Amino acid sequence: MAVFELRKFVAPEFIFGVGARHRAGLCARSLHAKRVLIVTDDGVAATGWLSELLDDLGAEAIDTRVFRDVTPNPRDHEVMAGVEIYRSTGCDVIIALGGGSAIDCAKGIAVVAANGGHILDFEGVDTIPLPGPPLICIPTMAGTAADISQFAIISDVARRTKIAIISKSVVPDVALVDPETTLSMPPYLTACTGLDALTHAIEAFVSSASSPVVDGHALEAIRGVKNHLLAAVANPLDLAAREQMMLSSLQAGLAFSNASLGATHAMAHSLGGYLDLPHGECNALLLEFVIDFNFHASEDRYLKIGEALGLEMSGGTRDDRLRRIQEDIRALRNAAGVHAGLAARGVTRGAVDDLAEHAIHDACIFTNPRRATTADLKTIYAEAL
Q: In this structure, what CATH number is given to the domain that contains residue 262?
A: 1.20.1090.10
Residues 330 and 259: their CA atoms lie apart, in Å, by 25
Closest CA to 269 of 381, 355, 158, 140: 355
What's the pLDDT at 7?
85
Q: Are 63 and 36 in contact (CB under 8 A)?
A: yes
DSSP secondary-structure letter at 41? B
DSSP secondary-structure letter at 96? E
Residues 106 and 96: their CA atoms lie apart, in Å, by 6
228 in any annotated domain: yes
Closest CA to 168 of 31, 14, 10: 10
114 lies in the same domain as 219: no
162 lies in the same domain as 18: yes
CATH of the domain at 62: 3.40.50.1970
107 lies in the same domain as 197: no
Residues 282 and 341: their CA atoms lie apart, in Å, by 9
Question: Which are the contacts of 256, defined by CB distance < 8 A and separation ≥ 6?
Answer: 145, 149, 151, 200, 201, 203, 204, 207, 214, 218
Q: Are 22 and 181 in contact (CB under 8 A)?
A: no
Amino acid identity of 5? E
168 lies in the same domain as 230: no
34 lies in the same domain as 89: yes
What's the pLDDT at 315?
85
Question: Which are the contacts of 344, defined by CB distance < 8 A and separation ≥ 6?
Answer: none
Helices (H) and strands (E) in the chain, counts: 14, 9
Q: Are 327 and 339 in contact (CB under 8 A)?
A: no
41 in any annotated domain: yes
What's the pLDDT at 6?
83
Partner residues linked to 96 by β-bridges? 39, 137
Amino acid identity of 211? S
Residue 337's CB: how many other CB atoms inside 10 A?
A: 14
Last residue of a domain, one of 182, 214, 243: 182
Residues 7 and 4: their CA atoms lie apart, in Å, by 8
3 in any annotated domain: no
Taking the alpha carbons at both ends of the chain, their separation in whole angstroms is 48
166 lies in the same domain as 257: no
137 lies in the same domain as 227: no
Residues 328 and 332: their CA atoms lie apart, in Å, by 6
159 lies in the same domain as 283: no
71 in any annotated domain: yes
Last residue of a domain, one of 135, 165, 182: 182
Tell me the CB-side half-sphere exposure of residue 362, using CA atoms within 13 A. Answer: 38
312 lies in the same domain as 238: yes
The CA-atom distances, in angstroms, between 49 and each of 40, 45, 67, 109, 178 are 10, 6, 14, 21, 11
What's the pLDDT at 1?
61
160 lies in the same domain as 190: no
DSSP secondary-structure letter at 69? B
What's the pLDDT at 258?
96
Q: How many residues does the chain have?
A: 385
1 in any annotated domain: no
Last residue of a domain, one of 182, 198, 229: 182
95 lies in the same domain as 129: yes
6 in any annotated domain: no
Edge to edge, the sheet with strand 151-156 lists 124-125, 161-166, 151-156
Domain count, the chain: 2
- Strands (E) across the chain are located at 13-16, 35-39, 63-67, 93-98, 124-125, 135-139, 151-156, 161-166, 174-177
pLDDT one digit per residue (tens) for the chain, 385 residues: 667 788 889 999 999 999 999 999 999 999 999 999 999 999 999 999 999 999 999 999 999 999 999 999 999 999 999 999 999 999 999 999 999 999 999 999 999 999 999 999 999 999 999 999 999 999 999 999 999 999 999 999 999 999 999 999 999 999 999 999 999 999 999 999 999 999 999 999 999 999 999 999 999 999 999 999 999 999 999 999 999 999 999 999 999 999 999 999 999 999 999 988 899 999 999 999 999 999 999 999 999 999 999 999 998 899 999 999 999 999 999 999 999 999 999 999 999 999 999 999 999 999 999 999 999 999 999 999 9
What's the pLDDT at 2?
62
Closest CA to 257 of 142, 147, 99, 149: 149
223 lies in the same domain as 351: yes
240 in any annotated domain: yes
Angle between helices 279-294 and 263-275 (to 10 degrees): 140
Q: Can you say whether residue 276 is alpha, beta or left, with left for phi > 0 and alpha for psi between -120 and 50 degrees?
A: left
The boundaries of the domain holding residue 57 are 13-182
5 in any annotated domain: no
